[in-house]
Amino acid sequence: MDSRYLGKLVEEELGDRTRIWKRKDLIGLGDLSKDEIMLVMEIAGIARREPPPFVDLSGKKVVTLFYEPSTRTRTSFEVAAKALGAEVINIAVETSSVQKGESLGDTAKTLRAIGASCIVIRHRVSGVPHMLSKMLDIPVINGGDGMHEHPTQGLLDLFTIIQHKGKVEGLKVLIVGDIAHSRVARSNIWALSKLGANVFVFGPPTLVPKWVERMGAKICRSPEEAFRDADVVNVLRMQFERQRGGLIPSVKEFSRLFMVDEEKLSMAKEDVCLMHPGPMNRGIEIDPAVADGRRSCILEQVENGVAVRMAVLYLLLGEGGARG
């Protein structure tokens, strides 16, 4: 076997450790153990190498079924799957039989009958990937469900932090903005807490729910408490499409108090890693000057998304994985 096959490199370098992965699906990071999360990190580290490893998934068909818009997640799943030699079928929900009233379950079972090896789903309703995983005998990957989880975003954020800081344990990680409506916040808090980071959240009280404390995060009451000595600042998008209204006095007021700009970022550590899952609302939650500045890791996050999704596809579909 060619020495650059991802499966061969993983087998040589990680040996039996891949056996801890027994999952058919990836639904959320709340379900994963610290060891499972670290396994994804290690495989993504191998996938990220130059020259990149290749072809493990020839003959597999990865279907993306997105009921909400996406640029990064859908495209990087496609790039990752193709890099591993899989075929990719992107279902355009707007021109599919969903528009004739076909149910989600019937759509998924139809795709399975056509030969899908795996379905990556994004849906506005929390719990849809879990529901599909119970209906189908093929892997289901959550590409973001409502306000619940976005596990591959959480994993690529973690990978980016490890790449920059060499560790997670003991870091001060601040998540700032619209926490209440963010599936990215949930996936990040689960993963970071399991790996021993000190997770802080900051935003308007109407957008910072108390339940984050039960997940292990600390709620900050002032910019000083939030930003001082932060190792990582992860800025979240204002999820206007999920808000019911009346949660902030005005967008202008929100930006004045909570937008991450040079003044706030200067309280963090000099080598702070500034992150944003994208898409950004420039001038609302993040000042373009810092988004494009020297501490920004935002495009690295996007780049790392491909390697992390290669690792996930390998674990779910590859010869070393649960379905291999």
- Contact residues for ligand CP, defined by CB under 6 A: 70-73, 144, 150, 153, 277-279
> How many alpha carbons fall within 13 Å on the CB side of residue 118?
31
Q: Which is nearer to ligand CP, 71 or 206 (CB)?
A: 71
How far apart, in whole angstroms, are the C-alpha atoms of residue 252 and residue 246?
14
Minimal distance, residue 71 CB to ligand CP, in Å: 4
Minimal distance, residue 279 CB to ligand CP, in Å: 6
Q: Which residue has the tokens 């920059």?
A: 164
Minimal distance, residue 150 CB to ligand CP, in Å: 6
Could you tell me the CA-to-CA distances from 271 to 162, 166, 266 in Å, in that order?
Answer: 14, 13, 10
Minimal distance, residue 135 CB to ligand CP, in Å: 24
Q: Which is nearer to ligand CP, 30 or 278 (CB)?
A: 278
- Nearest Cα neighbor of 57 from 77, 79, 85 is 85
- Please, are residues 124 and 146 in contact by the beta-carbon 8 Å criterion? yes
Q: Which is nearer to ligand CP, 18 or 76 (CB)?
A: 76
- Please, are residues 111 and 68 in contact by the beta-carbon 8 Å criterion? no
Q: Which is nearer to ligand CP, 6 or 184 (CB)?
A: 184
Minimal distance, residue 117 CB to ligand CP, in Å: 22
Q: Which is nearer to ligand CP, 49 or 124 (CB)?
A: 124
Each as own residue / partner, the long-range contacts of residues 18-23 (CB below 8 Å, 24 or more positions apart, any chain) are 18/43, 18/315, 18/320, 18/321, 21/315, 21/321, 21/322, 22/322, 23/315, 23/316, 23/322
How far apart, in whole angstroms, are the C-alpha atoms of residue 163 and residue 41?
10
Q: Output the six-digit token pair for 171.
A: 């870091």
Q: Which is nearer to ligand CP, 122 or 269 (CB)?
A: 122
Minimal distance, residue 69 CB to ligand CP, in Å: 6
